[in-house]
Amino acid sequence: MHLERRHFLAALAAMSSSNCSYAAPSPKVRTEHLAKAGETTSFLIAWTDFKSRHIQQDGRVVDNGNGGISHSEGQGYALVLAELAGDREVFDRVWRWTNENLAQPDKALFIWRYDPGAINPLADSNNATDGDILIAWALGRAASRWQNSALETRATSIRASVARHLIIDSGRSLLLPAAQGFVQSDSIVLNLAYYIWPALAEFAEMEPHGPWVKVMEDGAWILEQCRFGEHRLPCDWVSYSGGKVAGPAAGWEPRFGFEAVRIPLYLGLSGLEGQVRPVIGFWQSYFAKGETPPAWVDVRSGAVAEYGLSYGAASCAAVLANAEMPANTPVQHDYYSSVLTCFSSLLPKQT
């Protein structure tokens, strides 16, 4: 099914619930919101803190919560945030390091992990799809902001590589988490946190005959099947088999946790938060008691973490739940929490 570009976000929103009562914004409105959000004081304060703590002078983004490694995801996040802040100097530094150190030699994707303490810092040459999408999204936006045709050429080639190597047809158009390691003999492992909805929407606007609308349509359908357990929550990793979601993927904890917390974030940035109303309702049940929601929930057993969401994740949850952050939520400055803090300030306020 091919939708007119001005309708596809509204169609995705309608797929989430027959009782849906909100209207998804058009891609133009959503893009304008992001541009304006990037000028707000709250975002610029969060961005200034992030870049001072986590971006080296050479442009490497350091994950200080994960042994000081770097990864394509972190480089991509920094590029997106730098473009939104209009910070050309940092953008250029981060892109230079990313291109020089993580670009794969045989296709326009990026090596997912750089470990400065290893003999071979790039021992695992696999990609990470979310990192590739973030980088392509940032380059495309930067090309438009700064009228740079070289960046647009590179963004186009990355999108083409994502389409060629990371999207497969298995009854549905599926977005693989990486080029290697997720297609098994009897199933495919998916991570819905890798569906970066505002980026995919902009790709669809730029390439109306590309695969992006179908990927989003089928991603929305898959998400609808991922309502597990008492609270009807998605989990970090899921198994797709026989044309349907088979359940949480074997080999990973069956948790709505570290990865899946980004699903409502990306949907919220596109005005599609209605697709995860159970998640938002779960968070609201904790905020209403003055408590921070747990960092993870086991979607099979119902067990929850004994500690709360990180400050950044709780910030995102509070905006989406239209709630106040508990006063005792500890501020954290690790890389992942800092990224989420930045993105929380870009979310539209809920009413």
Say which of 63, 87, 130, 298 is annotated catalytic.
130
pLDDT of 23 reads 40
- For residue 30, is pLDDT > 90? no
Q: Domains, the chain, ranges and CATH?
A: 34-345 (1.50.10.10)
**Alpha-carbon span 37 to 50, nearest angstrom:** 16
What's the mean per-residue pLDDT of the chain?
A: 91
Q: What is the mean pLDDT of residues 278-307?
A: 97
**Alpha-carbon span 325 to 316, nearest angstrom:** 10
The reported pTM is: 0.93
Determine which helix (DSSP H) or strand (DSSP E) holds 198, and give its type and residue range.
Answer: helix 197-206
Angle (deg, nearest 10), helices 72-85 and 27-37: 80
Q: Is 130 a catalytic residue?
A: yes
Confidence band (pLDDT; 50, 70, 90) for 35? confident
Confidence band (pLDDT; 50, 70, 90) for 205? very high
Positive/negative CA dihedral, 30, 34, 35, 39: positive
pLDDT of 33 reads 75
pLDDT of 243 reads 93
Q: What is the mean pLDDT of residues 157-185?
A: 96
Buried b (16+ CB within 10 A) or exposed e, 96-114: ebbeebbbbeebbbbbbbb
Q: What is the mean pLDDT of residues 37-64?
A: 95
In order, the DSSP letters of 38-69 are TTSHHHHHHHHHHHHHHB-TTSPBPBTTTTTB
Q: What percent of the chain has pLDDT over 90?
A: 85
